[in-house]
């Protein structure tokens, strides 16, 4: 599922920028506190560099770990649906627990499978959610 899982310093070397035909990536930034941040981008190296410079400039949390999916043509839609599904799960729980990387990974895998090119069965029902 994850094309890259490791140190933020290695993202630029290990993950190439995606072309417009390839789509883009879903990235999960894991902060010092352990909190995840979800990003959709075609330029993973630039996103990491930008986060690091803003964190240094404004005193924000730095990155401990970065996860990057394989590229997907509908990466922006996957991110929107992922955020929506995670928020619905959070609302359904009486006492929400912290978001884990396993929860994010399961949702991303399901969305990649559902929205993969050639998979039209569930796309219409997923589109209605947005």
pLDDT in tens, 63-81: 999 999 999 999 999 999 9
Phi, psi at residue 24, to the nearest 5°? -165, -170
Would the CA dihedral through 112, 114, 119, 124 be positive or negative?
Answer: negative
Q: Is the pLDDT of residue 128 over 80?
A: no
Kindly state the average pLDDT of the residues 105-118: 85
Would the CA dihedral through 112, 19, 27, 125 be positive or negative?
Answer: negative
How confident is the model over 19-67, as pLDDT tens digits?
A: 999 999 999 999 999 999 999 999 999 999 999 999 999 999 999 999 9
Q: Is the pLDDT of residue 121 over 60?
A: no
Phi, psi at residue 28, to the nearest 5°? -120, 115
- How many CB atoms sit inside 10 A of residue 2's CB? 16
Give pLDDT, residue 38.
95
CA–CA dist 85, 15 (Å, integer): 27
Confidence label for 95 from pLDDT (cuts 50, 70 and 90): low
CA–CA dist 33, 108 (Å, integer): 22
Model's pTM, two decimal places? 0.82
């Amino acid at each position: 599922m994850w094309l890259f899982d490791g140190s933020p310093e290695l993202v630029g070397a290990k993950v190439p920028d995606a072309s417009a035909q390839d789509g883009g990536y879903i990235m999960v930034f894991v902060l010092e506190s352990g909190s995840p941040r979800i990003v959709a981008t075609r330029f993973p190296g630039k996103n990491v560099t930008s986060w690091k410079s803003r964190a240094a400039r404004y005193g924000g949390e730095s990155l401990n770990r970065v996860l990057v999916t394989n590229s997907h043509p509908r990466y922006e839609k996957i991110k929107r649906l992922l955020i929506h599904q995670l928020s619905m799960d959070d609302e359904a729980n009486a006492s929400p627990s912290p978001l884990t990387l396993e929860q994010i990974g399961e949702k991303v895998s399901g969305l990649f499978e559902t929205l993969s090119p050639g998979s039209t069965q569930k796309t219409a029902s997923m589109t209605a959610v947005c």
